[in-house]
Structure 1
């Protein structure tokens, strides 16, 4: 049985100012392409855990897997 070499984290944050999920995604994408380039990756692709094997980023934000709560 193959074993995946990845893990998942469910991150819940409470922010001071209101923000839509689109705004949150934009901020994370900007960080992934800027100051966190090479550390944080951002994807809107349909992915499964095996797609991430071998990726060198410390964290990958899966925009399709997130939601915004009120």
Structure 2
């Protein structure tokens, strides 16, 4: 599993989760946010994958929150 952390000049921060088994599909899940408020975060799932397990989604969101909202 790879995680790419992008913090662009427009203030948007993106975490892309890439599965090494399906890396040709690109990021299977991306969490992005334009503020430090977790309630504003959004999730995008790649249309190239057939679905994501709930366990993976929970893990990714928990990790994204820890990275994006220090102290959470």
Same structural fold, with TM-score higher than 0.5 when normalized by the shorter chain: no
Higher relative contact order (CA 8 A, sep 6+): 1
> More helix per residue: 1 or 2?
2
Q: TM-score, normalised by structure 2?
A: 0.34
Normalising by structure 1, report the TM-score: 0.35
